[in-house]
Amino acid sequence: MGRVFFFIGEGLRALRRSAAPGLASIVTVCITVLLLGVLIPVLQTTNGKTNQVRDQVGLRVFLNDVNGQQAPADQVSALRAKLAAIPHVKSVQFVDKNQALGILGDQLKQENREDITAQLPGSHNPLPASFNVTPDDLSNLPAVRNAITPPGASGQPSPIDPLISDIGDSRDDARKITGATTAIRWVLGVVAALLLVASLLLVANTIRLSIYARRREVEVMRLVGATNWFIRWPFMVEGLVCGLVGAGIAIGFLFLGKQVIVDPLANNFNLLNSGHTIGFANLALVLLCVAMGVSAMGSGLTLRRFLRI
């Protein structure tokens, strides 16, 4: 127990004696944690949102009208059952003619072109009823499409039900979204990794300065028979304290940012209100662990070359 106090005392003493490298270390950790603290929720939100968008991508199975009217409900139900039975189909949603017209009306309304629907003659609704078929995964979209329109005797695709007139899919959209999300993930992932590496190197470099300033002490310790771990611990404590303080300050800033900026805007911006992000307490814990781990590792790794016997 006495040794633990000795290590802590030595670590704090070193920080007091050489405040400049310690301060540099704290600032480095603080900036890294701050950036990570912003990046982690952003990465998660982006990921969550893209998954949400990907979930909405599916096939639209348009139905033929029967005598100018929507197909009877029993036929529609039978087709729904058929579609739902296809492997990898997650959900099947029916959109009747009126709903389709309503959706179109809403879209046109947003573009201030309500006049277009107003020009429809009488009660005639030219839009077909449809099923929105969502696959369990975007990559299974072609398989589901093939299952709905398998190749017939002539080799041409023929629908599994005569009620089906056409299939519209959002393959291009899906491809674009997949490409974009993959790119976003890569970019953010690489940025996060670079940030971690940069902070590790910066902390290591700062600790190196601190060790260089205390190389005589290390030399004396070695010569009087201190073990490598005994020499290493005070530096590790120093690194851990720097990590703790740096992370603490950064978490304070993040909390402030959350209270002052993010929370008031969350009601207005759907993206900020995403349920996919990590809770603040967990985020703080993760950041604290990362900061302390990075600092201690930086100290430990740097000391290796000074401790060659």
The three-state secondary structure class of 127 is: coil
Name the minimum Å distance from CB 208 to other proteins. 19
Please, which of residues 5-44 interact with other proteins by CB under 8 A?
6, 17
Reference 148, options 132, 164, 130, 129; nearest CA is 164
Please, which of residues 88-127 interact with other proteins by CB under 8 A?
none
Please, which of residues 290-309 interact with other proteins by CB under 8 A?
309
Residue (106 or 219) nearer to other proteins, CB: 219
Give, for 40, the enclosing helix (H) or strand (E).
helix 19-56
Residue among 3, 115, 154, 156 that touches other proteins (CB under 8 A):
3
Tokens 């998954």 locate to 51
Name the minimum Å distance from CB 10 to other proteins. 9
Residue (219 or 263) nearer to other proteins, CB: 219
Residue (169 or 238) nearer to other proteins, CB: 238
Please, which of residues 208-267 interact with other proteins by CB under 8 A?
216-217, 219-228, 230-231
Name the minimum Å distance from CB 19 to other proteins. 13
CA–CA distance, 32 with 200 (Å, rounded to integer): 9
Q: How wide is the angle at C-alpha 140 spanned by C-alphas 138 and 142, nearest 5°?
A: 105
171 binds other proteins (CB under 8 A): no
- 63, exposed or middle or buried, with CB in 10 Å at 0-12, 13-18, 19+? buried
Within 10 angstroms of residue 258's Cβ, the number of other Cβ atoms is 15
The count of C-alpha atoms lying within 13 angstroms of the C-alpha of 177, restricted to the half-sphere facing its C-beta, is 19
Please, which of residues 122-161 interact with other proteins by CB under 8 A?
none
CB 243 within 8 A of CB 294: yes
Name the minimum Å distance from CB 207 to other proteins. 18
The site for other proteins (CB under 8 A) is made up of 2-3, 6, 17, 216-217, 219-228, 230-231, 309
